[in-house]
Amino acid sequence: MVIVTLQRNKCIGCNYCEEFAPEFFRMSKKDGKSVLLKSTDKKGFHTLKIPNHEAEEAIEKAAKACPVKIISHKTI
């Protein structure tokens, strides 16, 4: 399982996350910030649990590309 966390309020709207992992990230048309699809929000931290490890590579690329380092992930 891969757990992904996005600190959306710190997003600068660079779009790298959507480029590297479009199945998990979209850019909001309202404010231009990243949205972690199907995630739960807890005090500004949007979290998604992904059951398969196949997504790990795309998530890792998105996290490394993020210039403000607001995407984190861990494998359990």
DSSP state of 70: -
* pLDDT tens track for 10-61: 999 999 999 999 999 999 999 999 999 999 999 999 999 999 888 899 999 9
What was the pLDDT predicted at 54? 80
The whole domain housing 21 covers: 2-75
Per the structure, the count of domains in the chain is 1
CATH number, domain of 62, equals 3.30.70.20
The H or E element containing residue 16 is: helix 16-20
DSSP assignment of 18-69 = HHH-TTTEEE-TTTS-EEETT-EEETTEEEEEES-GGGHHHHHHHHHH-TT-
